[in-house]
Homo-oligomer: A and B are copies of this chain.
Amino acid sequence: MNILVTNDDGIYSKGIYELCNAIKDIARVYVVAPDSEKSAVGHAITMHNPLKIKKINFHGIDSIDAYAVSGTPADCVKLGIEALLRDIEIDLVLSGINNGSNLGSDVIYSGTVSAALEAYMLDKSSIAISYDANGDSSHEYKIAANYMADFIKGNYMENDDLQSSVLNINFPNMHGRDPLGYRSTRLGIRRYENSFEERKDPRGNIYYWMGGSIKKMHQEPDSDISAIEEGYISITPLQFDLTNYDKLKGMSKL
Protein backbone atom coordinates (compact mmCIF):
# COMPACT_ATOMS: atom_id res chain seq x y z
CA MET A 1 0.00 0.00 0.00
CA ASN A 2 1.34 3.44 -1.00
CA ILE A 3 0.14 6.41 1.03
CA LEU A 4 0.72 10.06 0.13
CA VAL A 5 0.60 12.35 3.18
CA THR A 6 0.16 16.12 3.18
CA ASN A 7 -1.14 18.78 5.57
CA ASP A 8 -1.65 22.52 5.92
CA ASP A 9 0.39 23.22 9.05
CA GLY A 10 3.57 22.62 7.04
CA ILE A 11 5.93 19.67 6.59
CA TYR A 12 7.84 20.42 9.83
CA SER A 13 4.79 20.33 12.12
CA LYS A 14 4.14 17.74 14.82
CA GLY A 15 0.84 16.40 13.48
CA ILE A 16 2.19 15.15 10.15
CA TYR A 17 5.22 13.60 11.87
CA GLU A 18 3.13 11.58 14.34
CA LEU A 19 0.79 10.47 11.55
CA CYS A 20 3.64 9.27 9.31
CA ASN A 21 5.39 7.60 12.21
CA ALA A 22 2.24 5.63 13.07
CA ILE A 23 1.49 4.44 9.52
CA LYS A 24 5.03 3.74 8.26
CA ASP A 25 4.73 0.08 9.31
CA ILE A 26 1.49 -0.56 7.43
CA ALA A 27 2.37 1.24 4.19
CA ARG A 28 5.09 2.85 2.07
CA VAL A 29 4.77 6.53 2.99
CA TYR A 30 5.43 9.52 0.72
CA VAL A 31 5.22 13.04 2.13
CA VAL A 32 4.49 16.04 -0.12
CA ALA A 33 3.61 19.00 2.06
CA PRO A 34 3.87 22.80 2.20
CA ASP A 35 7.25 24.21 3.27
CA SER A 36 5.43 26.55 5.71
CA GLU A 37 2.06 26.95 7.41
CA LYS A 38 -0.89 27.32 5.00
CA SER A 39 -4.00 27.41 7.20
CA ALA A 40 -7.34 28.78 5.95
CA VAL A 41 -6.16 28.80 2.35
CA GLY A 42 -9.24 26.85 1.29
CA HIS A 43 -8.95 25.25 -2.11
CA ALA A 44 -6.40 27.76 -3.40
CA ILE A 45 -4.03 26.58 -6.13
CA THR A 46 -0.88 28.25 -7.42
CA MET A 47 -1.23 29.11 -11.09
CA HIS A 48 0.74 32.33 -11.42
CA ASN A 49 3.96 31.30 -9.68
CA PRO A 50 6.25 28.31 -10.10
CA LEU A 51 6.18 25.61 -7.43
CA LYS A 52 9.60 25.05 -5.93
CA ILE A 53 10.34 21.67 -4.37
CA LYS A 54 13.00 20.42 -2.00
CA LYS A 55 13.64 16.80 -1.06
CA ILE A 56 14.13 16.69 2.69
CA ASN A 57 15.19 14.22 5.35
CA PHE A 58 12.00 13.39 7.27
CA HIS A 59 13.05 13.07 10.91
CA GLY A 60 15.70 10.52 9.93
CA ILE A 61 13.13 7.95 8.77
CA ASP A 62 14.88 6.44 5.73
CA SER A 63 11.81 4.65 4.36
CA ILE A 64 9.92 7.93 3.85
CA ASP A 65 10.50 10.08 0.74
CA ALA A 66 9.56 13.65 1.65
CA TYR A 67 9.21 16.80 -0.47
CA ALA A 68 8.68 20.34 0.83
CA VAL A 69 6.69 22.41 -1.68
CA SER A 70 6.31 26.19 -1.96
CA GLY A 71 2.55 25.86 -2.45
CA THR A 72 -0.83 25.14 -0.89
CA PRO A 73 -2.08 21.74 0.35
CA ALA A 74 -4.13 21.31 -2.86
CA ASP A 75 -0.99 22.09 -4.90
CA CYS A 76 0.93 19.42 -2.97
CA VAL A 77 -1.62 16.71 -3.76
CA LYS A 78 -1.85 17.62 -7.43
CA LEU A 79 1.91 17.95 -7.83
CA GLY A 80 2.53 14.74 -5.89
CA ILE A 81 0.13 12.59 -7.87
CA GLU A 82 0.66 14.10 -11.32
CA ALA A 83 4.36 14.90 -11.26
CA LEU A 84 6.64 13.94 -8.35
CA LEU A 85 5.16 10.47 -7.79
CA ARG A 86 3.61 9.88 -11.20
CA ASP A 87 5.26 6.44 -11.53
CA ILE A 88 3.88 5.25 -8.19
CA GLU A 89 0.35 3.93 -7.74
CA ILE A 90 -0.89 5.94 -4.75
CA ASP A 91 -3.63 3.99 -2.94
CA LEU A 92 -4.63 6.55 -0.35
CA VAL A 93 -4.05 10.23 0.41
CA LEU A 94 -4.01 11.45 4.02
CA SER A 95 -4.12 15.12 5.02
CA GLY A 96 -3.20 16.02 8.58
CA ILE A 97 -3.13 15.62 11.47
CA ASN A 98 -4.33 19.22 11.65
CA ASN A 99 -3.79 21.33 14.75
CA GLY A 100 -7.44 22.29 15.38
CA SER A 101 -10.74 20.85 14.25
CA ASN A 102 -12.25 21.21 10.76
CA LEU A 103 -15.98 20.98 11.39
CA GLY A 104 -19.28 22.00 9.86
CA SER A 105 -19.52 24.77 7.31
CA ASP A 106 -15.95 25.80 8.23
CA VAL A 107 -14.52 22.95 6.14
CA ILE A 108 -14.85 25.18 3.07
CA TYR A 109 -12.01 27.36 4.46
CA SER A 110 -9.83 24.40 5.35
CA GLY A 111 -6.56 23.67 3.58
CA THR A 112 -6.52 20.24 5.25
CA VAL A 113 -9.91 19.27 3.86
CA SER A 114 -9.23 20.83 0.44
CA ALA A 115 -6.16 18.63 0.02
CA ALA A 116 -8.33 15.54 0.61
CA LEU A 117 -10.98 16.84 -1.81
CA GLU A 118 -8.31 17.51 -4.44
CA ALA A 119 -7.14 13.88 -4.13
CA TYR A 120 -10.73 12.70 -4.57
CA MET A 121 -11.09 14.89 -7.67
CA LEU A 122 -8.04 13.02 -9.02
CA ASP A 123 -9.83 9.69 -8.35
CA LYS A 124 -7.88 8.84 -5.19
CA SER A 125 -9.36 7.72 -1.88
CA SER A 126 -8.53 10.24 0.79
CA ILE A 127 -8.94 11.18 4.44
CA ALA A 128 -8.61 14.58 6.11
CA ILE A 129 -7.64 14.22 9.78
CA SER A 130 -7.95 16.98 12.36
CA TYR A 131 -7.67 17.13 16.09
CA ASP A 132 -9.71 19.53 18.23
CA ALA A 133 -6.54 20.65 19.96
CA ASN A 134 -6.13 23.03 22.81
CA GLY A 135 -2.47 23.52 22.09
CA ASP A 136 -0.07 21.42 20.09
CA SER A 137 0.73 18.31 22.09
CA SER A 138 2.75 15.43 20.61
CA HIS A 139 1.12 13.05 23.04
CA GLU A 140 -2.42 13.71 21.82
CA TYR A 141 -1.33 13.61 18.15
CA LYS A 142 0.21 10.22 18.88
CA ILE A 143 -3.08 8.87 20.24
CA ALA A 144 -4.95 10.14 17.18
CA ALA A 145 -2.26 8.79 14.82
CA ASN A 146 -2.46 5.33 16.37
CA TYR A 147 -6.25 5.34 16.00
CA MET A 148 -5.81 6.23 12.34
CA ALA A 149 -3.29 3.41 11.73
CA ASP A 150 -5.75 0.94 13.29
CA PHE A 151 -8.66 2.44 11.34
CA ILE A 152 -6.84 2.10 8.02
CA LYS A 153 -5.77 -1.49 8.74
CA GLY A 154 -9.23 -2.42 10.04
CA ASN A 155 -12.57 -0.76 9.21
CA TYR A 156 -11.20 1.06 6.21
CA MET A 157 -9.70 -1.87 4.30
CA GLU A 158 -12.78 -3.98 4.93
CA ASN A 159 -15.31 -1.44 3.68
CA ASP A 160 -15.49 -0.58 -0.03
CA ASP A 161 -17.78 2.34 0.70
CA LEU A 162 -15.20 3.98 2.92
CA GLN A 163 -12.39 3.27 0.46
CA SER A 164 -14.14 4.99 -2.45
CA SER A 165 -14.73 8.17 -0.43
CA VAL A 166 -13.21 11.31 0.85
CA LEU A 167 -13.60 11.25 4.62
CA ASN A 168 -13.35 14.14 7.03
CA ILE A 169 -12.25 12.76 10.40
CA ASN A 170 -12.08 14.88 13.55
CA PHE A 171 -10.76 13.76 16.91
CA PRO A 172 -12.25 15.26 20.05
CA ASN A 173 -10.10 17.03 22.58
CA MET A 174 -9.34 14.05 24.78
CA HIS A 175 -7.43 15.63 27.67
CA GLY A 176 -5.50 12.34 27.91
CA ARG A 177 -8.60 10.08 27.91
CA ASP A 178 -9.65 7.80 25.06
CA PRO A 179 -12.38 8.88 22.60
CA LEU A 180 -15.72 7.09 23.11
CA GLY A 181 -15.63 5.54 19.62
CA TYR A 182 -16.46 6.45 16.02
CA ARG A 183 -19.63 8.17 14.86
CA SER A 184 -20.62 8.75 11.22
CA THR A 185 -21.89 12.31 10.86
CA ARG A 186 -22.94 15.08 8.54
CA LEU A 187 -21.47 18.58 8.55
CA GLY A 188 -23.08 20.96 11.04
CA ILE A 189 -23.38 24.72 10.81
CA ARG A 190 -20.73 27.08 12.22
CA ARG A 191 -21.24 30.81 12.46
CA TYR A 192 -19.09 33.47 14.11
CA GLU A 193 -19.85 36.72 15.91
CA ASN A 194 -17.79 39.88 16.38
CA SER A 195 -15.64 38.76 13.50
CA PHE A 196 -13.53 41.88 13.00
CA GLU A 197 -11.49 44.06 15.31
CA GLU A 198 -10.81 47.58 14.04
CA ARG A 199 -7.43 49.18 14.80
CA LYS A 200 -5.38 52.18 13.73
CA ASP A 201 -1.78 51.95 12.55
CA PRO A 202 0.84 54.51 13.75
CA ARG A 203 -0.04 56.72 10.76
CA GLY A 204 -3.77 56.76 11.60
CA ASN A 205 -4.89 54.33 8.87
CA ILE A 206 -7.65 51.91 9.81
CA TYR A 207 -7.03 48.16 9.48
CA TYR A 208 -8.89 45.03 10.59
CA TRP A 209 -8.02 41.74 12.21
CA MET A 210 -10.30 38.78 11.54
CA GLY A 211 -11.14 37.04 14.78
CA GLY A 212 -14.47 36.44 16.38
CA SER A 213 -15.89 33.69 18.49
CA ILE A 214 -18.06 30.72 17.54
CA LYS A 215 -21.76 31.52 17.83
CA LYS A 216 -23.60 29.13 20.12
CA MET A 217 -26.12 27.39 17.84
CA HIS A 218 -28.42 24.41 18.04
CA GLN A 219 -26.66 21.40 16.48
CA GLU A 220 -28.47 18.36 15.13
CA PRO A 221 -27.43 15.22 17.08
CA ASP A 222 -26.07 13.61 13.89
CA SER A 223 -23.73 16.53 13.12
CA ASP A 224 -19.95 16.37 13.32
CA ILE A 225 -19.97 19.22 15.86
CA SER A 226 -22.22 17.25 18.23
CA ALA A 227 -20.06 14.13 17.92
CA ILE A 228 -16.90 16.01 18.89
CA GLU A 229 -18.60 17.78 21.77
CA GLU A 230 -19.74 14.42 23.12
CA GLY A 231 -16.24 12.91 22.92
CA TYR A 232 -16.61 10.79 19.75
CA ILE A 233 -14.37 10.61 16.70
CA SER A 234 -16.43 12.11 13.88
CA ILE A 235 -16.31 10.65 10.35
CA THR A 236 -18.10 12.63 7.61
CA PRO A 237 -18.07 11.48 3.98
CA LEU A 238 -17.66 14.49 1.66
CA GLN A 239 -18.26 15.29 -2.00
CA PHE A 240 -17.37 18.27 -4.20
CA ASP A 241 -20.52 18.92 -6.25
CA LEU A 242 -21.73 22.35 -5.10
CA THR A 243 -24.91 22.22 -7.25
CA ASN A 244 -28.07 22.96 -5.25
CA TYR A 245 -30.34 20.30 -6.78
CA ASP A 246 -33.41 21.32 -4.74
CA LYS A 247 -33.26 24.86 -6.09
CA LEU A 248 -32.51 23.62 -9.59
CA LYS A 249 -35.85 21.77 -9.76
CA GLY A 250 -37.72 25.04 -9.15
CA MET A 251 -35.76 26.91 -11.83
CA SER A 252 -36.75 24.88 -14.88
CA LYS A 253 -38.95 27.59 -16.34
CA LEU A 254 -36.26 30.27 -16.77
Contact = CB atoms under 8 A, between A and B. Distances in A.
A51 interface: yes
A135 interface: no
Interface in A88-144: 105, 107-109, 113-114, 117, 121
B187 A242 contact: yes
A1 interface: no
Interface in A204-254: 205-210, 235-245, 247-248, 250-252, 254
Given A83-B198, A162-B251, A41 B39 contact: no
B208 A254 contact: no
Given A239-B243, A239-B244, 8 more contacts: A50-B199, A75-B210, A105-B241, A161-B247, A166-B244, A184-B248, A184-B254, A187-B241
B109 A45 contact: yes
The prevalent SS among residues of A at the interface is mixed
Counting contact residues on chain A (CB < 8 A from B), the size range is 35 or more
A155 interface: yes
A240 B242 contact: yes
Nearest 9 interchain pairs by C-beta = A42-B43, A237-B247, A239-B244, A42-B42, A184-B251, A237-B244, A83-B196, A186-B243, A50-B207
